[in-house]
Amino acid sequence: MDQPGHYMNQRRLRANAHVRELAATVTVSHKEMIQPLFVEENLPERVENRHMTGVFSDTISSVVTQIAADMQQGIHKFLLFPIPAARHEIHFDFSFAAEVVQTIKNAFGDSVWLAADLCLCSYTNSGHCGILDAAGKKLLNAETVNVLANYALQLARAGADCIAPSDMTDGRIGAIRRALDEAGFDEVAIMSYSSKFSSNFYGPFRDVCKSSPNQQNSLKDRKTYQIDPRNPLDAMASSLRDASEGADFLMVKPGLPYLDIIAALSQRTDKPIAVYHVSGEYAAIELLAKESLVEAKSAHIETWIAFKRAGATVIITYAARWAKQWLG
């Protein structure tokens, strides 16, 4: 069996950098990436995330500096997470979020493409993604969708290029699309967090956004509205439904544990699929790198390749701002 010719030589295509480049069928570019941004109201000065090197909570003025620096790195597409100072049960004030969007679009105009995350988890006292009933046991779907559609309108008026609903209520995409169209914002895109799983990997994000479900007597987790990891059929149905309601982009989130969902969905839709490499996945690479067990750069690149191989067209990653430099 060891004689030449008795086995298929697969190593000829691995033999050197040139031939590996020729044989590769998957490419990654910073141009397909979106950089998340956190902007917190009443923050005295920007602070680096405890768990994610190089990821900051910005003030409304430091975010402008951050974006200018990111543009120097070839990054022009952003996903904004506004963190308001005040929290409420039912009455929410979206003016800080609108102010951030307006500030960014006034400073950069169409040289940036700005998507705004749309969720109530940084607004509610409970830390849940929508309005709960009086007992705190049930997410009220219709009430939440109404508030979200109104929130989306305010973000569109402020100049957002895209609305990215991450709350996981039913019917929100249709309601938001209708509200936007009726107000003349038919060119504002919707990127739906359409296959968003109830995941263990959102920890560092919730730390930053103060959005963990936090109340003793209310729903203790997001399992009644986010997708069960054991239910790929739900992930498929939810994404296809959101596409039919008018989502321009679909999304799978988190990333690496759900490559099968990306692959299956890409066979079933003609919408571009975004994947979100979430905070806990980013922090996992950071922790390995701290122990010198991986090189962060190579681990991120390998991850991005996996996303592309599975069928994603858009990658949302906290490391987008280094992608151009890293990819060379």
Q: Can you give the binding site for ligand PBG, defined by CB under 6 A?
A: 117, 119, 121, 129, 166, 202, 205-206, 211, 278-279
Distances (CA, A) of 191 to 162, 176, 243, 259: 7, 11, 10, 19
Minimum CB–partner distance for residue 119 and ligand PBG (Å)? 4
Bridge partners for 33 per DSSP: 315
Q: Which helix (H) or strand (E) holds 113?
A: strand 113-118
Bridge partners for 253 per DSSP: 196
Minimum CB–partner distance for residue 262 and ligand PBG (Å)? 17
In the residue annotation, 210 being an active-site residue is answered as no
DSSP labels, 134-177: TTS-SB-HHHHHHHHHHHHHHHHHHT-SEEEE-S--TTHHHHHH
- Tell me how far apart the alpha carbons of residues 326 and 207 are, in angstroms, rounded to a whole number: 28
Helix (H, G, I), strand (E, B) or coil at 124: strand
Minimum CB–partner distance for residue 17 and ligand PBG (Å)? 34
One of 210, 220, 253, 308 is an active-site residue; which one? Answer: 253
Closest CB to ligand PBG among residues 165, 311: 165
Minimum CB–partner distance for residue 234 and ligand PBG (Å)? 16
Minimum CB–partner distance for residue 74 and ligand PBG (Å)? 22
Closest CB to ligand PBG among residues 117, 161: 117
One of 31, 77, 138, 196 is an active-site residue; which one? Answer: 196
Distances (CA, A) of 95 to 108, 167, 272, 287: 20, 19, 31, 37
Closest CB to ligand PBG among residues 169, 266: 169
Closest CB to ligand PBG among residues 121, 158: 121
Closest CB to ligand PBG among residues 108, 212: 212
Ramachandran area for residue 74 (φ above 0: left; ψ -120 to 50: alpha; else beta): left
In the residue annotation, 253 being an active-site residue is answered as yes
Which residue, among 176, 211, 170, has the nearest Cα to 191 in the 3D structure? 176
Report yes or no: 310 and 266 within 8 Å, Cβ to Cβ. yes
Could you give the residue numbers annotated as active site? 196, 253
